[in-house]
């Protein structure tokens, strides 16, 4: 299917709510733009997609997604450039990951061209919601969920694919404090950790809450079997810097979400001649490095959080402090580079910006 044959119905909102946005006091993900996208799957095929005013949807009390969790999502962002264009960062990567998540959860895949065009058109219609305020962007949330009206467990025959968007500022307002988790588990080999499945997030809330009571922002997940290897942190992939090298857990096992931010960070670093290692990362290695002062940097990478430098790593009863942010020249430089590229201040040499 080519983009020219994709034809969405469009119903515009009568009034825009954009002027009511309190930009200086914007909670993450609570304010939504004027329109949303909806496309249904039934009878073995995708029906015509529609862009419509943002509104509630009704559901049958037996809607299968809420009973059995056939529900996946994505997260990506649109940025306003200095010359007033709108760019979406690497949506093709999200399209592919969305399809992989769908497959794992036994759901129909949304064709990449439809996924991309639905996002592009929706952001185009709500482009006045993409601000050029520094640090802000339009968060785009595509999601797919099962809508069979049935309390029997089987792959649903019907689905809704939706996209909503939300103007956002920074996810973390300060360097993050994370705690290495050695009891609870996010994902096990053979499970659904690689999929962006809704249930992964529901399951993380209780363990995360325990560390938040102790003053941390998020957990660092370790492998389910031995809790010896580091996997990822909250809704971010994790990267360490030791001896000038960037080190990050390998995504070979299917327990880690294959993050687009981390992939981009590592590609940039490699281009700059930085040595990059993606391999198993022992908890012990990181704890030792933090204690003997050789852990130069650690940061989380994710769409919502962008690059979130880590201030403190909690390990058992210890709080290991990382070096001051000013000295973290590599992650500071990568962060600035990515911001500048997304907002068109420098050349998009990797071709990652998708123009709306
Ligand atoms: N890991 C998890 C569990 C996530 O939810 C996210 C956020 O999307 C990431 C990693 C980072 O992925 P990305 O950079 O594609 O946003
Ligand atoms: C993202 O970074 O897109 C996420 O998935 C985080 C989200 C749960 C707020």
> Is the domain of 116 the same as that of 188?
no
Q: How many folded domains does the chain comprise?
A: 2
> Is the domain of 143 the same as that of 206?
no
The residue to mutate among 304, 306, 307, 308, having the most atoms of ligand 2 within 8 angstroms of its beta carbon, is 304
> What is the atom index within ligand 1 of the atom nearest the CA of 193?
3
Ligand 2 geometric centre to CA of 73 (Å): 9
Residue-wise pLDDT tens digits, 147-184: 999 999 999 999 999 999 999 998 998 999 999 999 99
Name the pLDDT band for 334 (thresholds 50, 70, 90): very high
Q: Is 96 in the pocket of ligand 1 (CB under 6 A)?
A: no
Looking at ligand 2, which residue's alpha carbon is closest to its atom 3?
Answer: 75
Ligand 1 geometric centre to CA of 7 (Å): 31
Q: Is 193 in the pocket of ligand 2 (CB under 6 A)?
A: no
Choosing from 169, 198, 231, the residue where a domain stops is: 169
Residue listed under structure tokens 């942010």: 325
Which residues are 39's β-sheet partners?
161
> Is the domain of 165 the same as that of 182?
no
pLDDT of residue 173: 87
Query: Above pLDDT 70, what percent of the chain?
Result: 99
Ligand 2 geometric centre to CA of 243 (Å): 30
The residue to mutate among 30, 176, 235, having the most atoms of ligand 2 within 8 angstroms of its beta carbon, is 235
> Is the domain of 165 the same as that of 78?
yes
Mean pLDDT, the chain, integer: 96
Ligand 1 geometric centre to CA of 257 (Å): 6
pLDDT of residue 58: 97
Q: Cα–Cα distance between 346 and 21 in angstroms, integer?
A: 29
pLDDT of residue 128: 97
Does 350 map to a domain? no
| 328-329-334-337 Cα dihedral, nearest 10 degrees | 130
Tell me which ligand sits closest to the C-alpha of residue 257: 1
The average pLDDT across 280-294 equals 97
Q: Is 302 in the pocket of ligand 1 (CB under 6 A)?
A: yes
> Is the domain of 146 the same as that of 222?
no
Ligand 1 geometric centre to CA of 9 (Å): 31
Which is more confidently placed, 253 or 81? 81
Does 354 map to a domain? no
The average pLDDT across 127-144 equals 97
Domain with 10 in it = 3-169
Q: Is 110 in the pocket of ligand 1 (CB under 6 A)?
A: no
Q: Is 235 in the pocket of ligand 2 (CB under 6 A)?
A: yes
Residue-wise pLDDT tens digits, 51-86: 999 999 999 999 999 999 999 999 999 999 999 999
Residue-wise pLDDT tens digits, 83-128: 999 999 999 999 999 999 999 999 999 999 999 999 999 999 999 9
> Is the domain of 284 the same as that of 158?
no
pLDDT of residue 6: 85
> Is the domain of 117 the same as that of 187?
no
CATH of the domain at 45: 3.30.470.10
Query: Does position 1 have pLDDT exceeding 70, yes or no?
Result: no
Query: Does position 4 have pLDDT exceeding 70, yes or no?
Result: no
**Are 348 and 339 spatial neighbours (Cβ–Cβ below 8 Å)?**
no
> Is the domain of 25 the same as that of 164?
yes
Sequence-distant contacts of 289-293: CB under 8 A, at least 24 apart: 289/240, 289/242, 290/315, 290/320, 290/321, 290/322, 291/320
Q: Is 302 in the pocket of ligand 2 (CB under 6 A)?
A: yes
> What is the atom index within ligand 1 of the atom nearest the CA of 186?
3
Query: Does position 5 have pLDDT exceeding 90, yes or no?
Result: no
Does 120 map to a domain? yes
Give one word for 4, left, alpha or beta, with left for phi > 0 and alpha for psi -120 to 50.
alpha
> What is the atom index within ligand 2 of the atom nearest the CA of 76?
3
> What is the atom index within ligand 1 of the atom nearest the CA of 256?
1
Does 37 map to a domain? yes
Query: Above pLDDT 90, what percent of the chain?
Result: 97
Does 113 map to a domain? yes
Query: Does position 351 have pLDDT exceeding 70, yes or no?
Result: yes
> Is the domain of 30 the same as that of 129?
yes
| Residues with Cβ within 8 Å of residue 61, at least 6 apart in sequence | none
Does 267 map to a domain? yes
> Is the domain of 63 the same as that of 138?
yes
> Is the domain of 105 the same as that of 142?
yes
CATH of the domain at 317: 3.20.10.10
Does 95 map to a domain? yes
Tell me which ligand sits closest to the C-alpha of residue 259: 1
Ligand 2 geometric centre to CA of 304 (Å): 5
Choosing from 138, 169, 200, the residue where a domain stops is: 169
> Is the domain of 100 the same as that of 205?
no
The average pLDDT across 29-47 equals 98
Query: Does position 2 have pLDDT exceeding 70, yes or no?
Result: no
pLDDT of residue 163: 98
B/e letters for 299-332, b = 16+ CB within 10 Å, e = fewer, are bbbbbbbbbbbbbbbbbeeeebebbeeeebebbb
Ligand 2 geometric centre to CA of 162 (Å): 16
Q: Is 222 in the pocket of ligand 2 (CB under 6 A)?
A: no
The average pLDDT across 210-238 equals 97
Name the pLDDT band for 343 (thresholds 50, 70, 90): very high
Choosing from 131, 152, 169, the residue where a domain stops is: 169
Does 76 map to a domain? yes
């Amino acid at each position: 299917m080519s983009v020219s044959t994709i034809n969405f119905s469009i119903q515009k909102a009568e009034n825009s709510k954009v002027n009511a946005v309190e930009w200086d006091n914007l909670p993450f993900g609570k304010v939504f733009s004027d329109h949303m996208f909806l496309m249904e799957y039934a009878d073995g095929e995708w029906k015509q997609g529609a862009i419509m005013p943002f509104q509630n949807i009704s559901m049958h009390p037996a809607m299968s997604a809420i009973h059995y969790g056939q529900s996946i999502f994505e997260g990506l962002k649109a940025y306003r450039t200095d010359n007033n264009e709108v760019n979406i960062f690497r949506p093709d990567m999200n399209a592919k990951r969305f399809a992989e998540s769908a497959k794992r959860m036994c759901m129909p895949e949304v064709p990449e061209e439809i996924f991309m065009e639905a996002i592009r058109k929706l952001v185009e219609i709500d482009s006045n919601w993409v601000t050029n305020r520094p640090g802000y962007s339009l968060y785009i949330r595509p999601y797919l969920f099962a809508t069979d009206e049935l309390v029997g467990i089987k792959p649903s025959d019907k689905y809704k694919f939706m996209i909503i968007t939300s103007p956002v500022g920074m996810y973390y307002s300060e360097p993050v404090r994370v705690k290495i988790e050695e009891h609870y588990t996010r994902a096990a080999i053979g499970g659904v950790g690689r999929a962006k499945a809704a249930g992964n997030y529901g399951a993380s809330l209780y363990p995360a809450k325990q560390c938040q009571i102790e003053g941390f922002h998020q957990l660092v997940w370790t492998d389910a079997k031995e809790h010896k290897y580091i996997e990822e942190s909250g809704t971010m992939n994790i990267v360490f810097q030791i001896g000038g090298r960037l080190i990050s857990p390998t995504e070979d096992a299917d327990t880690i979400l294959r993050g687009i931010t981390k992939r981009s960070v590592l590609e940039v670093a490699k281009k700059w001649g930085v040595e990059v290692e993606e391999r198993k990362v022992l908890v012990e290695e990181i704890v030792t490095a933090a204690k003997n002062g050789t852990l130069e940097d650690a940061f989380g990478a994710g769409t919502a959080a962008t690059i979130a430098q880590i201030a403190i790593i909690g390990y058992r009863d210890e709080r290991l402090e990382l070096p001051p942010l000013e000295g973290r020249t590599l992650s500071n430089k990568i962060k600035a580079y990515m911001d500048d590229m997304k907002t068109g201040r420098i050349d998009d040499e990797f071709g990652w910006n998708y123009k709306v």
